[in-house]
Amino acid sequence: MSNTLQIVWLIPFLPLIGFLINGLGRKQLSKTLSGFIGSSVILASFLISIFVFLQVKSGNTHVAHYFDFINTGSLKVGFDFQIDQLSSLFLLIVTGVGFLIHVYSTSYMHEEESKDFAKFFAYLNLFIFSMLLLVMGGNYIIMFIGWEGVGLCSYLLIGFWFKDNSNNDAAKKAFVMNRIGDFGFLLAVFWLIAKLGTTDYHGVFNNIDRLSLFDITGITLLLFVGATGKSAQIPLYTWLPDAMAGPTPVSALIHAATMVTAGIYMIARSNILFTMAPFTQSVIAVIGLATAVIAATIALKQNDIKKVLAYSTVSQLGYMFLALGVGAYTGAVFHVMTHAFFKALLFLGAGSVIHAMGGEQDMRNMGGLKKHMSITHITFLLGCLTIAGMPPFAAFFSKDQILAEAFEKNLVYWVVGVLTAFMTAFYMFRLYGMTFLGKFRGTHEQEHHLHESPSAITLPLIILAILSVIGGWIGIPEIFMHGGDRLETFLEPVFSKSNLLIESLHQKHELSHNTEYALMAVSVIGALIALVYAWNKFSRYEKSTTEETGIGKIIANKWYVDEFYNAIIVKPMQSLAGFLNSIVEKKAIDGFVNGVGKAVNYGSRQIRLLQTGQVSAYMLMMVVATLILFIIQLFL
Amino acid sequence: MPINYYVFLALALFSIGVVGVLTRRNAIIIFMCIELMLNAANLLLVAFSKIHAATSVLATAGSDAQIFVFFIMVVAAAEVSVGLAIIVMMYRNTHSIDVNFLNRLKN
């Protein structure tokens, strides 16, 4: 108990307090006060997280046990927080990026009414609380509480502007799709309990030999179903683009930087399970790759600035799953981190643009914003260069690490991954060109309104831009700098078992330096060509009214996946529900219930006639009844 | 005398009482018929008591039921006074002692 890390309960506790104050006092608190409370609790959590990180860095890991959460005969689940390399890194990402987005929100949401403003911060704080529970939990049950909590907050925040019904539909879609995934997660946890009787990470990972290959494959597949829901992978990815109906800071915080990486965290946390299930790993790699490609193609033709970023998020998440699938756990976590920086930056930059355009999200009506919004423009450009994988920005290192590992595993993975990287560069610079270059295509009123955003918006942008540039330097590959991959060294204890296993299974042949340089060169040069091409093409973009044709039309309509889901799932479900409503509910169940009532009513009306009020009639009945009893007594 | 005679007599009296109650509408006659049934029961009690005393070795055997009959008579006398009072009140209110007039609670 004397371990200094025992105080980590403060990290999730402070956002919870912030949630309670803002949530309960939303009618009393002024905007300044609720914004201040909401942001300062996250800042405090962030400072404690830094302390925790430093402790962990000096080798102090700890499982803090607070009380028994579930205690029945054979099953004991403690309310535990596990603090190690992986969770301390996620703590920094969640609270750090979370804090910047809180600060950003104080300005971005300023036009809301004061009670809605406080409600927004209450939800954001609740989200941070749930996310912290998710990453700190010392067993799958605590993780599941956070897992459900972030899903709930995502629902609440997507539907924040609930007066517009399409926002509610998007919120419901997100919630239902997440629930499908959560069901898989829950089944996996039950399976673990049935086989091992524990959900503690230590208990599970140390007793892994007691599981058969079938068990491990089943459990990991179910866990992966959970991850596809939360992290928007095929087949459950369609909720994420719709989730952009929420306020932009929400898109940045929940639907780009933190919540959607929960699935990656969960798989990285259970890395040893997944390493022992090669079949699941292949499934993850293929699904991740397919998601990356499909989302990237869709992003090529979207015109809504947030939709492009949303599909880009789905695509980048696909990369992370590809990394998990080929066993590059460090690469996945590295990409989670860099992605959190640059995608939060891009979303917040897009938010700044939307703010300046007075709510306009269609890029066809933008253009030439470069000269009006210099800070937003520069930070956004840095973000675009980062996501395009240009050296020496952050994503270059993380993406390169993933692609190199994919190359080792299978050449096809690498080819498709690199093609996706080219597409990424193309659609990001299409977005950049259409938004910031060329001439303004919006209305006169909008042009008059254009202005640089206030400092509460630009400051987070600048900080995130710096992080996007230098964030990758903690994972510099060995060939550039000896001992440069500090992240790998830092995370080594978490992934050591898996790494040992991978090495023992198939002699891991190190790539020669020349191959590695060649791989990098291909991806950088290809991305650069795509970038320059997009820059040239879209800096001269003119509004055109011609309809898309052929493949372009299919892509612009997102491969008709939503329509497909509607046809095969939503429509049959609705007709089944209609059948149950009109036939089973109204005819059968209501008929039975009403029939019982009618029968009693009718019966009592008949029996009532026996009560004539004639004394002799009553007497007669008495005598007849007595005689019957006598006869029964005598003869039976 | 065999017990059968007493039993048949009591049965006859009781049946007359029952039929009287069922068929007659005059409250006083119904009342009398009730008394008839009561006394049919008394007759049986006394008769069985007598038989019992004849077959038993105990000196006091059979006296219980006969004492019991006295109690019934006392209670019946009290009941008659109450019943007649009711009939008097009934006559005062309805100017009739026909029980079929007393069905007004029906509705």
* Residue A609 contacts B where some CB pair is shorter than 8 Å: no
Is ipTM beyond 0.95?
no
The residue that leads in pLDDT, A478 or A597, is A597
What is the count of structural domains for chain B? 1
The answer to whether B45 touches B68, Cβ cutoff 8 Å, is: yes
pLDDT digits over A364-409, tens only?
A: 888 888 888 888 999 999 999 999 888 888 888 888 888 888 888 8
Position B97 pLDDT exceeds 90: no
pLDDT digits over B7-23, tens only?
A: 999 999 999 999 998 88
Q: Which residue(s) pair with A78 in the sheet? A: A68
The answer to whether A160 touches A246, Cβ cutoff 8 Å, is: yes
Across the interface, do B99 and A616 touch by the CB < 8 Å criterion?
A: yes
Across the interface, do B21 and A616 touch by the CB < 8 Å criterion?
A: yes
- Please check whether residue B107 lies inside any domain of the structure: no
Measured in angstroms, the CA of A580 and the nearest CA of chain B are apart by 46
CA separation for the pair A119, A25 (Å, rounded): 9
Across the interface, do B103 and A613 touch by the CB < 8 Å criterion?
A: yes
Position A1 pLDDT exceeds 50: no
- Please check whether residue B56 lies inside any domain of the structure: yes
Across the interface, do A614 and B18 touch by the CB < 8 Å criterion?
A: no
Cβ count near A567 (within 10 Å): 11
What's the start-to-end Cα distance of chain B, in Å?
Answer: 54
Across the interface, do A615 and B99 touch by the CB < 8 Å criterion?
A: yes
Chain A residues within 8 A of B103 when measuring between CB atoms: 612-615
Best CA proximity match to A334, nearest among A282, A392, A292, A395: A395
The answer to whether A253 touches A356, Cβ cutoff 8 Å, is: no
- Please check whether residue B106 lies inside any domain of the structure: no
Across the interface, do B106 and A612 touch by the CB < 8 Å criterion?
A: yes
* Residue A623 contacts B where some CB pair is shorter than 8 Å: yes
Q: Tell me whether residue A579 is exposed, middle or buried, using C-beta atoms within 10 angstroms of its C-beta: 0 to 12, 13 to 18, 19 or more.
A: exposed
Decide: helix, strand or coil at residue A162. coil
- Please check whether residue B68 lies inside any domain of the structure: yes
The answer to whether A229 touches A240, Cβ cutoff 8 Å, is: no
Strand A75-83 and strand A62-72: pairing? antiparallel
Question: Amino acid identity of A157?
Answer: L
Confidence (pLDDT) at A562? 84
The answer to whether A177 touches A561, Cβ cutoff 8 Å, is: no
Measured in angstroms, the CA of B86 and the nearest CA of chain A are apart by 16
State the DSSP string of A10-38: HHHHHHHHHHHHHHHTTTTS-HHHHHHHH
The answer to whether A495 touches A503, Cβ cutoff 8 Å, is: no
Confidence (pLDDT) at A509? 61
Please report, for the domain that includes residue B85, its CATH number: 1.10.287.3510
Phi-psi region of A550 (alpha: psi -120 to 50; beta: other; left: phi over 0): left
Q: Which residue of A has its CA nearest to B20?
A: A616
Question: Amino acid identity of A354?
Answer: I
Across the interface, do A616 and B105 touch by the CB < 8 Å criterion?
A: no
Confidence (pLDDT) at A550? 73
* Residue A615 contacts B where some CB pair is shorter than 8 Å: yes
pLDDT digits over A94-113, tens only?
A: 999 999 999 999 988 888 88
- Please check whether residue B103 lies inside any domain of the structure: no
Tokens of A160: 């924040």
Phi/psi of residue A577, each to 5°? Answer: -65, -40
CA distances from A491 to A46, A57, A80 (A): 20, 10, 21
Enclosing domain of residue B31: 3-96
What's the start-to-end Cα distance of chain A, in Å?
Answer: 81
- Across the range A275-297, mean pLDDT stands at 92
Question: Amino acid identity of A440?
Answer: F
Chain A residues within 8 A of B21 when measuring between CB atoms: 616, 619
The answer to whether A276 touches A541, Cβ cutoff 8 Å, is: no
Tokens of A196: 């091992």
